[in-house]
Chain A
Amino acid sequence: MENQVAIVGVGLTPLRPVSPDLSFREMIFEAATRAYADAGVTPREIDTFVTVAEDFHEGTSITDEYTPDQLGAVRRPVHTVAGDGLQGLAAAYMLVRSGAADVAVVEAHSKASNIVHHEEILALALDPTYERPWRVNPHAVAALEMRRYLHEANASPEVSAQVVVKNRGNALRNPFAAYGASLSPEEVLRDAPVAEPLRGLEVSGYADGAVVLVLASMERGRSLAGRPVLIRGIGWASDEPSLSGRPWAQAVYAHLACEMAYRLAAIHAPANEIDFFEVDDTYAYKELQHLEAALRLEVGEGARLTVSGRTARDGELPVNPSGGSLGMGYGYDASALVRTAMAALQLRGEAGAMQVTGARSAAVVSWRGVPTTSGGAVVLSAQ
């Protein structure tokens, strides 16, 4: 294949619940400095920059205007993707794949701790005529989905608790993670619901952090310092936005995104061809839906895989060995790129204590968060 695209540089700051010592610019500068050093590039050798950001999360209109300085992108091509992190990665991928750029950078960050009223921003995402007037707790949208999932999956709430136990346990091995913990399923099930059946511990905690990835054509990547991780395929999709019209049990957007990525990557049997998965787990049950998408499974089969223990870090199909958002922290637009960064470190064999033995290929599945039905998927391979 011509013009194959690789991740040649990975840089991120450790995720933290608060970060009062650094401005968002200083945090991004730190991540970018690490990524450029990892790739062995200077900002002048980067042809184009993509940032993933939402104005309402930043509190600044046209927030991408504040991007160039901290990426070394002053007077350079810069654009913003106000969407999922993998849509930003896809934009950078296409710029390299098309030959428009040899080296491209994608950045995302979170200063979730600086948002005083998260619920107000989530409320603004609901339909103003039919949905907003009820003033429901935004987590209730996830709870509605979780109940329908458990109903159609014929699964008990315990399976969702097991995801929490696994991911927060995995995070104990991850130096970038904010929420590592040793929990038992009983402790999770005893926790108070925020919107029944969704319990507090099944909601990932907010985190601040920045992540920068350097992409390059394979040809260019070979001459750089970083160890290239091949992007074999990428995809994204959106389902119906209406709360009444969406398929609650199944993450159809994720199935479609995976199919698009698998088509490009020529993946035919994901369970055999992919060694581990980093998937969105903003809410614990979402990991089950996203795993089902990644493995082309029916509703409920992801729950049964989890119960069997096969999704553990040392299981046959490890899911979120990094700890996911439950273990690392949820950073809005940055979450998908954090998942991607974790997968890339695994494929380079540089994941330290969280390393998945023999990891050669990975799938990342992302979700844009409540109340969206949008997400992405990317297939990565070690070189």
Chain B
Amino acid sequence: MARERRSARRPAAKVSRLRKKTAKVPPQQAPGPIEPVVRDGLRGTPLRDAHVQGGMVSLERWEPKLEYRWDTGVAIGRFLEGLREGKILGVRCDRCHRTVTPPRAFCEWCFKPMDAWVELADAGTINTFSICFITWDMQPLEVPQIPAVIEIDGTSPRVGFLHLIGALRAHTVDGIRKEIRVGQRVRAVWKPAAERTGAITDILHFTPA
């Protein structure tokens, strides 16, 4: 289902960009017949993926075609419009004295409607990050993907969103760890205005400030 949702909402662009960098998997050899074997006194029937793919194993197949169009509503809708304009918007709760992004219509702490919209800086601090040499669907990457939680400037502590760190010089773990760290200051790198669609991907990535 994750695959279906992703492709429904964000056709191809990012996925294919990642795929170009994937190493080729060697072609599979033709599978032999399915036969029981006895090895070290243990009996079993070895199966390979090619047996399954080749229809040699009896199984049921079904590909779900799930598609959704979510109403973004007041808070997310305005946030996405802000991104289209190159702005990161947040909301403020005067009772709990905190400013948060992504925005929400109500404060989940005091359960009252939020008090005001605020425009935030397009810069922040890395709360935590990972260095991934495998994509979300297990394809190997030569240039790693670096997911990070960014605390946006002007928000209360521990408020921000998941994004990517990009445009680093290094491509190895050791090299990347010399360029970024927890607490690293970063700034947003935006798509050109004409290419923005009102999506979190309107920010291409964050990069060390």
Which A residues lie at the B interface, using CB under 8 A?
19-27, 29, 32-33, 36, 42-43, 55-56, 59, 61, 68-70, 72, 74, 111, 113-117, 120-121, 124, 128-129, 132
Closest Cβ neighbor of A57 among chain B residues: B68
* Contact A116 to B64, CB < 8 A, known contacts A22-B73, A29-B106, A70-B106: no
Find out whether the CB atom of B71 lies under 8 angstroms from the CB atom of A19.
Answer: yes
Q: CB of B43 within 8 A of chain A?
A: no
Task: Give the distance to chain A from B86, nearest Cβ to Cβ, in Å.
Answer: 23
Q: Which of B68, B75, B77, B111 has the most CB of A within 10 A?
A: B111
Find out whether the CB atom of A25 lies under 8 angstroms from the CB atom of B65.
Answer: no
Find out whether the CB atom of A72 lies under 8 angstroms from the CB atom of B62.
Answer: no
CA separation between A27 and B109, bound complex, in Å? Answer: 18
Task: Give the distance to chain A from B6, nearest Cβ to Cβ, in Å.
Answer: 11
Q: Which of A27, A113, A116 has the most CB of B within 10 A?
A: A116
Task: Give the distance to chain A from B156, nearest Cβ to Cβ, in Å.
Answer: 15
Q: CB of B115 within 8 A of chain A?
A: no
Closest 9 CB pairs of A and B: A23-B73, A59-B68, A69-B108, A116-B67, A72-B111, A26-B73, A22-B73, A128-B60, A26-B105
Task: Give the distance to chain A from B55, nearest Cβ to Cβ, in Å.
Answer: 16
CA separation between A113 and B67, bound complex, in Å? Answer: 12
* 14 A-B contact pairs sorted by A residue (CB < 8 Å): A19-B71, A21-B73, A23-B71, A23-B77, A24-B70, A26-B75, A29-B105, A29-B106, A55-B1, A59-B5, A72-B108, A115-B67, A120-B65, A128-B62
The secondary-structure label for the interface of chain A is helix
Q: Which of B2, B106, B109 has the most CB of A within 10 A?
A: B106
CA separation between A68 and B2, bound complex, in Å? Answer: 22
Find out whether the CB atom of B67 lies under 8 angstroms from the CB atom of A111.
Answer: no
Task: Give the distance to chain A from B96, nearest Cβ to Cβ, in Å.
Answer: 12
Find out whether the CB atom of A23 lies under 8 angstroms from the CB atom of B65.
Answer: no
Find out whether the CB atom of A111 lies under 8 angstroms from the CB atom of B70.
Answer: yes
The secondary-structure label for the interface of chain B is loop
User: For B67, what are the chain A residues with a Cβ–Cβ distance below 8 Å?
Assistant: 115-117, 120
Which of B2, B62, B68, B109 makes the CB contact (< 8 A) with A116?
Answer: B68
CA separation between A219 and B147, bound complex, in Å? Answer: 51
* Contact A61 to B2, CB < 8 A, known contacts A23-B73, A120-B65: yes
User: For B71, what are the chain A residues with a Cβ–Cβ distance below 8 Å?
Assistant: 19-24, 111, 113-114
CA separation between A129 and B109, bound complex, in Å? Answer: 48
Q: CB of B76 within 8 A of chain A?
A: yes
User: For B70, what are the chain A residues with a Cβ–Cβ distance below 8 Å?
Assistant: 23-24, 59, 111, 114
CA separation between A68 and B108, bound complex, in Å? Answer: 8
Task: Give the distance to chain B from A304, nearest Cβ to Cβ, in Å.
Answer: 43
User: For A25, what are the chain B residues with a Cβ–Cβ distance below 8 Å?
Assistant: 73, 75, 104-105
Find out whether the CB atom of B74 lies under 8 angstroms from the CB atom of A21.
Answer: yes
User: For B75, what are the chain A residues with a Cβ–Cβ distance below 8 Å?
Assistant: 23, 25-26
User: For A56, what are the chain B residues with a Cβ–Cβ distance below 8 Å?
Assistant: 1, 66
Task: Give the distance to chain B from A52, nearest Cβ to Cβ, in Å.
Answer: 19
User: For A116, what are the chain B residues with a Cβ–Cβ distance below 8 Å?
Assistant: 67-69
User: For B109, what are the chain A residues with a Cβ–Cβ distance below 8 Å?
Assistant: 74
CA separation between A33 and B107, bound complex, in Å? Answer: 12
CA separation between A69 and B71, bound complex, in Å? Answer: 18
Q: CB of B72 within 8 A of chain A?
A: yes
CA separation between A34 and B156, bound complex, in Å? Answer: 29
CA separation between A19 and B61, bound complex, in Å? Answer: 36
CA separation between A22 and B70, bound complex, in Å? Answer: 10
Q: A111-B70, A114-B70, A129-B60 are in contact. List 7 more A-B contacts (CB 8 A).
A: A21-B74, A24-B73, A25-B104, A26-B74, A59-B66, A114-B68, A132-B62
CA separation between A26 and B60, bound complex, in Å? Answer: 40
Task: Give the distance to chain A from B167, nearest Cβ to Cβ, in Å.
Answer: 31
CA separation between A185 and B106, bound complex, in Å? Answer: 46
* Contact A69 to B65, CB < 8 A, known contacts A23-B76, A61-B2: no
User: For A115, what are the chain B residues with a Cβ–Cβ distance below 8 Å?
Assistant: 67-68
CA separation between A129 and B59, bound complex, in Å? Answer: 9
CA separation between A59 and B67, bound complex, in Å? Answer: 8
